[in-house]
Structure 1
Amino acid sequence: MQNQYVELANRIGLGQSERIPKIFALIADPEEAALLLALPGDASKIAADLGKSEETVSAMLHTLFVKGLVFPSGKGSPVMYRMCRDLVQFHDASILWPDAPRDFLDLWQDFMEVEWPSVAKMMSQIMPRPFTRVIPVGITVPAKTHVLAFEDIKDIIENARTISVTKCTCRLTAQKCDRKLDACLQINRAADYNLARGTGRQLTKEEALDLMREAEEDGLIHVVMNKQNVDHFICSCCPCCCQTMPVLIQHNISVIEPSRFSADVDPSLCTSCGMCVERCYFGAVVQEEDNTAQINKDKCMGCGLCQVTCPASAISMVEVRPKDYVPEKLFGN
């Protein structure tokens, strides 16, 4: 593998990876790789550094923007460009590359199967808090809970400036289930970015709410960035394809935090149908000797999938963590 692709992998902290340099090589030719290594900078500076015309560099920057490899600052003039800052951004942006060949997507999935669990474990050990957080499903939340604005799907959507939907990058590559593919909401700046790239479709607020209802019926869990300001994405995650769920379920690696809530069962209403046991991906719902459901609070992620389909309305979501559990900013910065 050419040194420039190893260096690109090194810039996102994965120079030791066997597969990440190969993924870069599939999406960027040697000239594009050289441009990426010349970042950050504006088109004029990069053109001078590479000995190319500014027009040529501008065209290359646009191509790399569509591929999900460069990001404009959006502030000031001239526009400054930088390459993807980390593995998560590289994964999520490049997989939505409109012209991505199947071998590119398959190589990403090979990385997720073989290398990602150990990378995720390392990340969980060095990061002060997980990057993402579960928020409860359900457009209507029972009154006994105190749901804050950044935890309420309906409130987030109704207060969004711009909303788009993109394909789920995880299900696009993994193909392990037939759950909804067009399911990831992009909010405000993230929506602007995907609409500009041509990788997202703009939604009205009512369309977005309908999409979230469909996702919940499909057994998908809502996940956002682990901070109070939800201005990036609302993913709808499955237990088999998602970046975070399988490593938590199968390897007990915590790269995603639970919501502030936990399910709670009213035994007087429980009919012992067992639907909640089937709906819980985390083994948090068990049936007692009399077959009534009980919640293991240590395992419950507070997603609410069990609640929204309980035919007896025996399950509610209750607060188990304080309001300040959710950080104001990512990683407390």
Structure 2
Amino acid sequence: MERVKEKKRGNGGRLIYLLTKSPRKVTIPDNAVQGENAMEEQNVYQRLADHLSQVGLGYPIRETLLEILRENFNPSEAEIALALPTGVIPFSTVGVSEIGTRVAMPPEELESVLERLAEKGLLYVGPTSTGERGYALLQVGFGFPQTFFWKGEDTPHARKMALLVAKYFNREVTSEAYGSRSKQYRYIPVGKAIQPDLQAVFPVQLMEQVITQARRIAVAHCPCRVSYRLVGRGCEHPTEVCLKFDELADFVIDRGLARELTQEEALDVIRVTEDAGLVHFVDNAEGEIKHNCNCCGCACWNVGNIRRRKIPRDAIMATYFMRETDSNECLGCGACATICPVAAVQMKDGLPIIDQDWCIGCGVCATVCPTEAVVLKGREDPIGVKPAATFRELHQRILEEK
């Protein structure tokens, strides 16, 4: 029977001695060793993609996702990321001691790798339930792919990520990522569009209410418009209008991804977005809002796809209002049709006709109506899902639906 004895060669190859009655030497070439290493590296990225698909707001697995992971994680960093838990809601952190139970690495070295990943914008950092420094995987819409673009920088890496992210988030991936039964986000109308009597009934549908309830506020650049410009496409809408609240604000401020605002400054941002005809959306919860985007039909992942009729509105967003027209007040000027972010208003015989299948109830048209003929009415969710009471409740629902 042959026995095998292995000895490393100085040039990185291996000598294999087959020990028989007459020992003979077989050389495993360097390219074979390199091939094994390449297969191991490919395997760790596939495992990481599988792992990330299991977080609450998971990453749909595609070859382009593997490209993004290879560009941002080295193999040892990918192994560390595999040690972070998945079946959790956004911002659920664990400390070094808990992560260390899943990976064979001294605590000091492990913490150094985690901090490096956080510095690269690849992990969320925040306190654990016991108050120690903790780490969590980014989830779709809550850091991925936004950390590449929140700073608004034009760098070679940002340009490369913009191309890969545009390739990755096609209509199928976008629908899969945001298509849970309980929608992650809801449109929130422009304040002027909600009549005073409805404002009393729907206070959670006002951006002013969201802002005044926040403990801390930050403003970042819109990742959709930043990445859109980085790939050479045009959009003239303002970019530094993406508001973050509370834990998410803590994260983006502490990591240098955004700047802190006062409540009055945040209200000024909202006024700027409404003047620019942008659409507000927030987390699909009544309280504990973490995230507000102000979207355009040019570049944004939801409004843009709806405007181009690529993804049905109700497949990716919650819409709780619908536009109607007071025909007695309407002058037929057509200003609402011109500004509609999703092209859901057409003029016919001097009056606006609203496409109820595509209107998102954003109220942007109300900002240009000279006679207040635009009326927003409450709309029931088509499958009966209501906004969750809190951010935590919303994401527990989404986890249960996976």
Provide the TM-score with structure 2 as the length reference: 0.73
Deviates more, 1:39-48 or 1:305-314: 39-48
Aligned partners of 2:152 and 2:367: how far apart in 1? Answer: 35
After TM superposition, list the pairs within 5 Å mapping 1:227-306 onto structure 2: 227-250=285-308, 251-254=310-313, 255-289=315-349, 291-306=350-365
After TM superposition, list the pairs within 5 Å mapping 1:100-179 onto structure 2: 101-113=155-167, 115-123=169-177, 127-138=180-191, 141-146=194-199, 147-175=201-229, 176-179=234-237
Q: How many residues align?
A: 331
Aligned partners of 2:186 and 2:46: how far apart in 1? Answer: 32
Deviation at 1:304, TM superposition (A): 0.4
Aligned partners of 2:269 and 2:214: how far apart in 1? Answer: 15
- Give 1:242's aligned amino acid: C
Alignment match, 2:272: 214
- Give 1:283's aligned amino acid: A
Aligned partners of 2:176 and 2:210: how far apart in 1? Answer: 32
1:260·1:302 contact (CA, 8 Å) conserved in 2? yes
Sort the Cα spacing of 1:139 and 1:210 in 2 relative to 1 into closer, same or farther, 3 A: farther
Aligned partners of 2:345 and 2:193: how far apart in 1? Answer: 22
- Give 2:347's aligned amino acid: Q
Sort the Cα spacing of 1:332 and 1:275 in 2 relative to 1 into closer, same or farther, 3 A: farther
- Give 2:44's aligned amino acid: Q
Aligned partners of 2:345 and 2:240: how far apart in 1? Answer: 29
Aligned partners of 1:320 and 1:51: how far apart in 2? Answer: 53
1:137·1:216 contact (CA, 8 Å) conserved in 2? yes
Aligned partners of 2:174 and 2:146: how far apart in 1? Answer: 15
User: Deviations along 1:148-194, whole A, 9 cap, x unmatched?
Assistant: 23211111112211111011111111124121111111011211121
Sort the Cα spacing of 1:85 and 1:260 in 2 relative to 1 into closer, same or farther, 3 A: closer
Alignment match, 1:325: 386
- Give 2:352's aligned amino acid: A
Greater CA radius of gyration, 1 or 2? 2
1:69·1:94 contact (CA, 8 Å) conserved in 2? no
- Structure 2, unaligned stretches of length 5 or more? 1-40, 54-58, 86-93, 398-402
Aligned partners of 1:30 and 1:206: how far apart in 2? Answer: 45
- Give 1:330's aligned amino acid: L
Within the alignment, does 1:81 sit opposite 2:135 as a pair?
yes
- Give 1:311's aligned amino acid: P
SS of equivalent residue, structure 1 residue 186: strand
Alignment match, 2:51: 11
Aligned partners of 2:60 and 2:311: how far apart in 1? Answer: 26
Aligned partners of 1:5 and 1:261: how far apart in 2? Answer: 43
Which of these residues, 171, 181, 184, is aligned with residue 239 of structure 2?
181
Aligned partners of 1:139 and 1:154: how far apart in 2? Answer: 11
Deviation at 1:207, TM superposition (A): 0.6
Deviation at 1:42, TM superposition (A): 3.4
- Give 1:302's aligned amino acid: G
Alignment match, 2:112: 59
Alignment match, 2:33: none
Sort the Cα spacing of 1:260 and 1:15 in 2 relative to 1 into closer, same or farther, 3 A: closer
SS of equivalent residue, structure 1 residue 325: coil
Aligned partners of 1:153 and 1:226: how far apart in 2? Answer: 13
- Aligned residues: CA RMSD: 2.9
- Structure 1, unaligned stretches of length 5 or more? none
Aligned partners of 1:170 and 1:242: how far apart in 2? Answer: 5
SS of equivalent residue, structure 1 residue 19: helix
User: Deviations along 1:97-146, whole A, 9 cap, x unmatched?
Assistant: 78884344444444434652111233466x21322111101367422424
Sort the Cα spacing of 1:183 and 1:332 in 2 relative to 1 into closer, same or farther, 3 A: same
